[in-house]
Amino acid sequence: MAHRINHSILSAAMTALLWLGGAPALAADLPAPTGLLCNLLADPAKTVIFDAHPRFSWIVNAPGVDQIQSAYEISIASSTTDLKHETPYLWSSGKVISEQSIAVVFVGKPLTADREYTWKVRTWTGDKQSEWSIPQTFRLGEIERGEKEDRFTVSREPLAQTIIVPKKFVEVGEGRYFIDFGRAAYAALKLKIDSPQAGTKIIVHLGEALSKPSVVNRKPGGSIRYQRVEMELKEGMREYTVLLDARDARRMPPEIGAAMPFRYVEIENAPAMDVASVRQIAVHYPFDESAAKFESSDKTLNDVWELCRYSIKATSFCGLYVDGDRERLPYEADAYLNQLGHYCVDREYTLARYSHEYLIQHATWPTEWPMHSVFIAWSDYLYTGDTASLLAFYEDLKAKTLFRLERADGLISTIQPKVSKEILDSLHESRLADIVDWPMSERDKFEMKPVNAVVNAFHYRAMLLMAILADAAGKPEDEAFFRKGAEKVANSFNRVFFDEQTGLYVDGEGSRHSSLHANMCALAFNLVSKEDQPKVAEFVRGKGMACSVYGSQYLMEALYRSGHADHALSLLTSRGDRSWAHMLYDVGSTITLEAWDNKFKPNQDWNHAWGAAPANVIPRLLMGVEPIKPGFRKLRIKPQPGGLKWATLGLPTIRGTVHVDFKSSPKQFDLNVTLPANTTAEVWVPRLGTEDVNVTIDGVRKPLDRYGDFLILKSLGSGPHRIVREIP
């Protein structure tokens, strides 16, 4: 199986010796850095980078509390042997006094193309020095590439292939076998059969669904996959790869070949077989199964988490975020939800960035989608702390806010006036059309108008995020422009779309209809005044899940951002036909669907990562762990348990794993937090009532600031901490 290094285990097992000129020395004061990344790649030796000044990141391992890196030293050599013996280094940074452990740029003489290099790092916290890290090798390719090629600031690792053994193997009749691999995967199928004679023909049925027990559904409908393959056997023991349809090779690298989503297999007219005769060869981007952990007091929530976590892995089969099997095309909104989920289930950033940069240059038609590119850029910067992509595509990102479509009051329309070719060219697109939600039946009867509330909510958010990105890029004039523009959009949004009589937002300029979408987007993007929030939030609550699997992302953002965690949890654990549990328990899919059910989208596929919102909603919003300074230098921990009695989370970050667990009761909230070295956190403790409370931090009672239903600890250092809120 393809697994990455488990950095916590590696750190504990590091050798107590370091080598200086070939001689053993006493152990250093601290464990070695782990989790090395070169240009965000965990295993750069498997690919080629195109950067003569690569960027290095690592996890600082410093046990104890309040540990901040005080210095680092990086060394580069032509081989691991040279690096080990330090004879000679090609370059050494020397001891650099700095807290920076993310995206440290190589500043030596530009490295030579078509060569392999090895680097290592050691760190200091205070006067304590770490061991040297295990070296990491990277290969440098040709720096100058043709102008006709797409531009990328990141390389991808090769796709991984994992051998899956059957969970169930049954002989259902003479020469007939049924196999269940337990979960669907994009995969090939290999058979090992001992045929007594040549020319025997077997029939293989592969599919995602059953028509009845032990029978693969031959007519599943929509875009649910089924394939029938006839194969002629040769005499003796042979291994066969089942030949899949040509469409299953779409976007697949030649060395991998075709991959089809399937869980079940039936084989007819076969010689004697057993469980060792059949293997599913699953294809996915390299994935660390141990990177993330979540468990709670609610079994349904746990199952939903695992469904969505696995969906992120399973749908990475192209080495590019795509919408699913039916189209196998990348779209910005799909990629954004995929990115957020991927960041929460693995310490992996290259596939998201590669997909993002591809989509910047190959935009898609829905009006809201190019604005999602700004959302993706913001999340990329916030989670990685690496500005390479932002700087390379800065002008493209400015255009993606759609600020050039603004009328005098800052609101935008793609109809009045018609979008010019010049603007479309700046977006790398040929047309724009408002989408609101998809399929159209999931729009809660949204009334389409030329000036659309949902589109302008996205426009406001894109303008605001672009202001922050402009600051990160060192563009103060742009920052002022976008910040002022966002303020103008917000004022006009509330003037044009807010209905004073109902206290709700209407769907568009001139509309009298208020949909879930207009109101949940206003709430999710903080466009609703404090005074109007209760009415808008109550309206949103009353609508239930009246949106698509895509729209559920913004519904959850709206509910958690406005303090309605109880209702959000009820939707996350619902067993209704618009729920993740329905996908898993009733429909029977083990990868999230394109829509809640076939009846809402008859042509849907069963393998869409944009249906996996809980993969990010549970860690980010329910457990409340989000970066608030780039590269997780500072994070927020704001658990909103709803009715959960307990929950535990292990969240991978670029600086190491954040551990959070809580136990909740009417009288006490017990919160345990473990932060990686080189991070700090702002912790929000639920008050869960109006009574006076005692709060102790590591056994010491401390007064905390109040903010609504929370008590806020503004700064907590690294290491393990216990925070207890109790009512006397």
pLDDT digits (tens, 9 = 90+) for 171-202: 999 999 999 999 999 999 999 999 999 999 99
Q: In sequence order, what are the residues at sequence separation of 6 or more whose Cβ sits closer than 8 angstroms to the Cβ of residue 383?
A: 343, 349, 627, 631, 632, 653, 654
Sequence ranges of the chain with CATH classification 1.50.10.10: 293-622
Torsion of CA 282, 283, 284, 288, to 10 degrees: 50
Sequence ranges of the chain with CATH classification 2.60.420.10: 634-726
Task: Decide: 31 and 61 in contact? Cβ < 8 Å.
Answer: yes
CA 281 to CA 186: how far, in whole Å? 8
pLDDT band at 692 (very low <50, low <70, confident <90, very high): low
pLDDT of residue 228: 98
Higher per-residue confidence, 27 vs 577: 577
pLDDT band at 728 (very low <50, low <70, confident <90, very high): confident
pLDDT of residue 7: 42
Helix H, strand E, coil C: the string for 449-517 is CCCEHHHHHHHHHHHHHHHHHHHHCCCHHHHHHHHHHHHHHHHHHHHHHEECCCCEECCECCCCCCCHH
Domain range 293-622, its CATH number among 2.70.70.10, 1.50.10.10, 2.30.30.60, 3.10.350.10: 1.50.10.10
CA 726 to CA 723: how far, in whole Å? 10
Residue 402, by phi and psi: left (phi above 0), alpha (psi -120 to 50) or beta? left
pLDDT of residue 274: 97
Residue pLDDT, tens place only, 562-594: 999 999 999 999 999 999 999 999 999 999 999
Residue pLDDT, tens place only, 118-166: 999 999 999 999 999 999 999 999 866 544 578 999 999 999 999 999 9
Q: Extract the tokens encoding 11.
A: 């750190």
pLDDT of residue 78: 87
- Average pLDDT of span 311-323: 98
Kindly give the residue spans of alpha helices, DSSP state H, lying in 15-124: 80-85
Judged by DSSP in three states, 419 sits in coil
Is the domain defined by 634-726 classed in CATH 3.40.1360.10? no
Task: Decide: 722 and 668 in contact? Cβ < 8 Å.
Answer: no
The secondary structure of 120-177 as a DSSP string is EEEEEETTEEBPPPPPEEEEE--S---TTSPP-S---PPPEEEEE--SEEEEEETTEE
Going by DSSP bridges, is the β-strand pair 680-686/634-637 parallel, antiparallel, or unpaired? parallel
pLDDT of residue 87: 62
If you average pLDDT over every residue of the chain, what do you get? 93
Q: CB 167: neighbour CB atoms within 10 A? A: 12
Going by DSSP bridges, is the β-strand pair 504-505/498-499 parallel, antiparallel, or unpaired? antiparallel
Say how far residue 150 (Cα) sits from the centre of its chain: 23
Residue 16 has pLDDT above 50, yes or no: no
Residue pLDDT, tens place only, 501-525: 999 999 999 999 999 999 999 999 9
Kindly give the residue spans of alpha helices, DSSP state H, lying in 286-367: 299-314, 332-345, 350-361
Length of the chain: 728
Residue pLDDT, tens place only, 544-563: 999 999 999 999 999 999 99
Residue 479 has pLDDT above 50, yes or no: yes
pLDDT of residue 15: 31
Please state which CATH number belongs to domain 7-140.
2.60.40.10
Q: What is the DSSP letter of 234?
A: P
pLDDT band at 24 (very low <50, low <70, confident <90, very high): very low
pLDDT of residue 86: 65
Higher per-residue confidence, 40 vs 704: 40
Q: CB 717: neighbour CB atoms within 10 A? A: 15
Residue 89 has pLDDT above 90, yes or no: no
Q: Extract the tokens encoding 486.
A: 């966002």
The class (CATH top level) of 160-284 is mainly beta
Residue 167 has pLDDT above 70, yes or no: yes
Q: Half-sphere exposure (CA, 13 Å, Cβ side) for 488?
A: 15
Residue pLDDT, tens place only, 602-631: 999 999 999 999 999 999 999 999 999 999
Q: Which segment of 28-37, 462-471, 701-710 scores lowest on mean pLDDT?
A: 701-710
pLDDT of residue 10: 38
Sequence ranges of the chain with CATH classification 2.60.40.10: 7-140
Sequence ranges of the chain with CATH classification 2.60.120.260: 160-284
Q: How many Å from the N-terminal Cα to the C-terminal Cα in the chain?
A: 52
